[in-house]
Amino acid sequence: MPDHTRPRGEHEGKVALITGGGRGFGKAFGEALSARGAHVVLADIDGAAAAEAAAELTARGASASAVTCDVADEAEVGAAVHGVAERHGGLDILVNNAGLHAAYNRPFTELGLANVRRVLDVNVMGVVICSLAAREAMKGRAGASVVNISSAAAYANRSIYGVSKLAVRGLTVSFAREFAADGIRVNAIAPGLIFTEAVRAELSAAEADRVLGEQILRREGEEQDIVEALLYLVSSRASFVTGETLRVTGGFALSV
C-alpha cells in the first residue's frame, strides 16, 4: 500500500469528486486525497465498485462516499454534483478520470462507428458534462481545481482513444480560460505506460518492451507517479498553474 500519510491535513475540509473512482487511478486518487483530509466522493458507472472502494477508505478512518454515475449521462452527472453540493456545501476538487481505455486504442478501421461514438461520449463529452456541472459548485472556493486525465496516446493520435485524449488536452486549455474568472484552475495529466495490475494482465511482454525502449527513463511507470502529479496539481504549490498538461511518461514520445 502506498504511503499517503504525508502531509496530513493538506486538504482538510475540502471535497473531491473523482469519476471512475471505483478502481485504478480513480481509487488511488481517492486514497491519497482522503489521507490528506479531504472528503472524497467516488463516482463510477459500476456503483458496487465505487461503494466497495469508499467502504475500504471509511474502514481506515477516511471520509468517503460513493455514487453511481455514467459521465456521458447529463442527468446522472447533474444529480451527482447536486447531491455533493447539497450534502457538503460545495466542491473543491474535480478529477475527470473516467474513460474508455485499452480496448479502444486501436485503428479506426477495427472499431466501427458505434464504438467511435462511445469513446467520444465518455472520454470527451464526459469531461465536458462533468466540468460544466461542477462549475457552479466550485465557483469561488479557495483553491478550486479540476484535473483531467489525458494520455501519452494524445501525442501519437493513431486511434480514436488517442484522438479523444488529444481533445481532453484542448478542453483543458479552453476550460482553464473559461473558469479562471471563477477562481477555478484546470489542468491535465498525460500518463505514459503505467504498470498497474490491469495493464500487466492485458499487455504483451513484447509491447511492454517496445514502450520501455522508447522511454528516456528505462523503468516501469508506477501508479504512484500519477498520484504524485495529481497531488501537486490540486495543491497550493500549483496555484500559478492552469491550462497545462503534465506529461508523466518517462520521456516517452518526447518532442519539442
d(CA 165, CA 179): 20
d(CA 176, CA 49): 31
d(CA 212, CA 75): 42
For the chain, the 3-state helix, strand and coil shares in percent, each to the nearest 5, are: 50, 15, 35
In sequence order, the β-bridge partners of residue 201 are none
The residue type of 163 is V
Instruction: Locate all alpha helices (DSSP H) within 37-179, ordered by sequence.
Output: 47-59, 74-88, 113-119, 126-138, 160-179
Residue 39 has, within 13 A of its CA and on its CB side, a CA count of: 13
Q: Active-site residues: which are they?
A: 161
Q: Supply 252's cell numbers.
A: 516517452
Residue 19 has, within 13 A of its CA and on its CB side, a CA count of: 31
Handedness of CA 64, 70, 148, 177 (dihedral sign): negative
pLDDT per residue rounded down to tens, the chain (256 residues): 454 444 568 999 999 999 999 999 999 999 999 999 999 999 999 999 999 999 999 999 999 999 999 999 999 999 999 999 999 999 999 999 999 987 788 888 888 999 999 999 999 999 999 999 999 999 999 999 999 999 999 987 679 999 999 999 999 999 999 999 999 999 999 999 998 877 888 788 888 888 888 899 989 999 999 999 999 999 999 999 999 999 999 998 776 6
Cβ atoms within 10 Å, residue 237:
11
Q: In the CATH scheme, what architecture does the domain 15-245 have?
A: 3-Layer(aba) Sandwich (3.40)
Q: What is the pLDDT of residues 171-192, one digit of tens each?
A: 999 999 999 999 999 999 999 9
DSSP state of 194: B
| Polymer length of the chain | 256
Tell me if 102 sits within 8 A of 154, measured CB to CB.
Answer: no
DSSP state of 196: -
d(CA 1, CA 113): 41
| Helices and strands of the chain, counted as H and E runs | 9, 7
Instruction: Confirm whether pTM is higher than 0.85.
Output: yes
Cβ atoms within 10 Å, residue 142:
9
Domain spans of the chain?
Answer: 15-245
Tell me if 131 sits within 8 A of 146, measured CB to CB.
Answer: yes
